Amino acid sequence: MKEPRYLVNDPYTADPSAHVFNGKIYIYPSHDIESGIPENDNGDHFDMRDYHVFSMESIDGEVVDHGVVLDVKNIAWAGRQLWAPDAAFKNGKYYLYFPLKDKNDIFKIGVAISDKPEGPFIPQENPIKGSYSIDPAILDNGDGKFYMYFGGLWGGQLQRYRNNKAMECGAEPADNEPALCAKVAALSDDMLEFSEEPKDVVIIDESGAPLKAGDHDRRYFEGPWMHKYKGKYYFSYSTGNTHKLCYAIGESPYGPFEYKGVILTPVVGWTTHHSICEFKGKWYLFYHDSKPSGGKTWLRSIKVIELNYNEDGTINTIDGMI
């Protein structure tokens, strides 16, 4: 699969989280709409209101739209903006994790439950205690433990927190200070809460020093994803305002993670957000761009391309413009 494949033309979708459940690929994206809200750095124009789930029996087969599986109208604590979700399976139940602004316009992370991977999903009455910011991504560690990675700058509000506490006047660190980190927390046995305080996902350079806030080409911005390959933990993420997908490798779910390179160069459209999934012995990168909408950042379309590793475990860089 040398060329990418667009998966969904209608509706517009973005931020695809792909998983293999019951021998099929299931994709959990956000759902872009034409909100009419002017574009700004806080992302107010991304006024998503529901989620669809899509499935595929083969990487080049039919993409089935299972319809709306969760609507903001059915979430008791909802304010606005259902952004990028993820999903997990444990003990016969499927869990959909989603960021959403509460009635005070503060992002929290919620969870909804279903008996089927395609939903529909029933939301819990309240968000996860101690959750904040955006972009939940779930790692099934294969040993019964599950971990959530989350966090995003600017509109994702991560800069408003230090040591898991909200700040009255949040701001990014100075360029010469350590960069803000994504967060990771183990989930409770029932998958509904954190079982610990979220910890920093530290990305280090080749000398072992944490990346600096001014290192915009490598530092974390949003869109975390974690996958395992040959016993190593691969933390991948978006650099945001430099529009790259990068990755770093570590020895445990908590890191630290040594920066290794770029997975995907910039795409058409400001944002870049992805997932990585193995299916039938091959690895795939799921991502989005704004080509089909004529470059409208807030109307994106999900796509997939094969991901290739080198013998040393590094990943071959993919051209985002193809």
Task: Show which residues are catalytic.
Answer: 15, 222
DSSP labels, 274-316: -EEEEETTEEEEEEEESTTTTS-TTS-EEEEEEE-B-TTS-B-
CA separation for the pair 37, 154 (Å, rounded) = 17
Angle 116-225-278 from CA coordinates, rounded to 5°: 65
CA separation for the pair 287, 297 (Å, rounded) = 14
Residue 61 DSSP symbol: S
Q: Which residues contact 140 (CB under 8 A, 6 or more apart)?
A: 88, 89, 90, 146
Residues in the chain: 322
- 178 CB-contact burial (10 Å; exposed 0-12 / middle 13-18 / buried 19+): middle
CA separation for the pair 108, 98 (Å, rounded) = 8
